[in-house]
């Protein structure tokens, strides 16, 4: 209060500040702020050791702020990279689908010019396949992009599985793949989100059909109820080439695909997400040249969804 340098300081005079200490918050290249402490206690003055302590705190605070900024910038860069990879992957998939649609449309056009019904049917099948791919890709993108709570209703699983089989019949017929079923019709209804599970099983069936060889390929869809564990069990099995051990930990990652240009890499990621939203588990059992089995277990009672760790074994 007696220092002439502060005689015109309105806050100092109004608040009757007796002693003050102020240090900079230093960044690597600039001052980020200040730390100011004052006291109204009479006959008290901050000492040099307190100034040194606060100076050190200012330096550490500056480092912490800059490190936080660098961390946030790194996260932002990672997000931009991930966004770029996502756009590139989806663009590639969409381009392939559009090429298929264009090819089918060209065949239909030529067939109309020739008045050839057989060629028109061939072109229409090409269009149908690629339109199905558009729908599957769109549904998977929507399912993966946003969190959702499933609308659980007691549902008869065989009915849902039967609808899935109807939708994959054409894809199986085109590749001359045999579809077998082992579905118990006596199992009780279980609480599921019908649309979500429908999408999850469809993804698994289409993956299995793509994984097997034409003509020799066999895909089996089975379902049963485990009364002791109170679980509904669904399995999709194929006699394809199997999944390498080093890929078992990554097949559920988004945009990871072992099918080359034929895959989007979203199917299994979406399937796992849907099953975990139901509070269920999904497990992969695969051996090279002996095929793959994917097993889904769904709780038969309605409760809070507590996603389990996805299991993979070989």
pLDDT at 55 over 80: yes
DSSP-derived 3-state class of residue 176: coil
Q: Which residue has the higher pLDDT, 12 or 299?
A: 299
Q: What is the mean pLDDT of residues 121-131?
A: 83
Q: Residue 119: what pLDDT?
A: 87
For residue 85, the model assigns a pLDDT of 65
State the pLDDT confidence band at 89, using cuts at 50, 70 and 90: low
Lowest mean pLDDT among 9-23, 65-79, 140-154: 140-154
User: What's the pTM value of the predicted model, to 2 decimals?
Assistant: 0.59
Residue 297: predicted pLDDT: 95
Question: When comparing pLDDT for 131 and 265, which is higher?
Answer: 131
pLDDT of residue 83: 65
* Gyration radius of the chain's alpha carbons: 32
Q: Strand 218-226 to strand 178-183: parallel, antiparallel, or no bridges (unpaired)?
A: parallel
Distance CA 244, CA 251 (A): 10
Tokens describing residue 37: 């402490």
Under the banding of pLDDT at 50, 70 and 90, the label for residue 4 is confident
Residue environment code for 94-109, b if the CB has 16+ CB neighbours within 10 A, otherwise e: eebbeebbeebeebbe
> What pLDDT was estimated at residue 135?
77
Q: Considering the chain, what is the average pLDDT of its residues?
A: 83
Query: Residue 108: CB partners within 8 Å, gap ≥ 6?
Result: 119, 120, 123, 124, 127
Given a cut of 60, is residue 87 above it in pLDDT? yes
d(Cα 176, Cα 20) in Å, to the nearest integer? 86
17-47 residue pLDDT tens: 888 899 999 888 889 999 999 888 878 889 9
pLDDT digits (tens, 9 = 90+) for 157-193: 999 999 999 988 888 988 899 999 999 988 999 999 9
The distance between the two most distant Cα atoms of the chain, rounded to a whole number of Å, is 107
Highest mean pLDDT among 8-22, 29-43, 69-83, 249-263: 29-43
CA distance 159 to 117: 35
**Coil, helix or strand at residue 219:** strand
The dihedral through the CA atoms of 245, 247, 250, 253 has a sign that is negative
**Average of per-residue pLDDT across 248-262:** 66
Residue range 103-119, pLDDT digits in tens: 888 888 898 888 888 88
The whole-angstrom separation of Cα 207 and Cα 268 is 9
């Amino acid at each position: 209060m007696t220092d002439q340098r502060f005689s015109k300081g309105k806050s100092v005079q109004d608040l009757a500040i007796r002693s003050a200490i102020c240090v900079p918050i230093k960044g690597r290249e600039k001052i980020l702020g200040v730390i100011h402490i004052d006291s109204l206690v009479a006959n008290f003055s901050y000492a040099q050791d307190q100034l040194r302590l606060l100076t050190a705190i200012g330096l550490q605070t500056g480092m912490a702020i800059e490190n936080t900024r660098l961390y946030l910038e790194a996260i932002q860069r990672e997000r931009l990279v991930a966004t770029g990879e996502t756009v590139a992957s989806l663009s590639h998939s969409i381009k392939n689908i559009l090429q298929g649609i264009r090819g089918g449309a060209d065949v239909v056009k030529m067939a109309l010019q020739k008045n050839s019904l057989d060629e028109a049917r061939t072109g229409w099948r090409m269009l149908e396949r690629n339109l199905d791919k558009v729908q599957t890709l769109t549904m998977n993108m929507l399912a993966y992009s946003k969190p959702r709570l499933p609308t659980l209703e007691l549902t008869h699983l065989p009915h849902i599985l039967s609808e899935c089989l109807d939708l994959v019949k054409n894809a199986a017929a085109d590749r001359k793949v045999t579809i077998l079923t082992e579905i118990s019709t006596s199992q009780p209804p279980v609480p599921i989100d019908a649309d979500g599970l429908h999408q999850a099983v469809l993804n698994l069936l289409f993956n299995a059909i793509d994984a097997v060889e034409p003509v020799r390929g066999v895909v089996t869809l089975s379902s049963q109820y485990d009364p002791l564990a109170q679980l509904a069990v669904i399995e999709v099995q194929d006699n394809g080439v199997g999944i390498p051990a080093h890929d078992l930990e990554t097949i559920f990652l988004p945009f990871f695909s072992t099918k080359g240009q034929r895959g989007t890499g979203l199917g299994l990621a979406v399937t796992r997400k849907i099953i975990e939203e139901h509070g269920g588990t999904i497990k992969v059992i695969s051996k090279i040249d002996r095929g793959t089995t994917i097993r889904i277990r769904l709780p038969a009672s309605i409760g809070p969804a507590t996603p389990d760790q996805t299991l993979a074994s070989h």
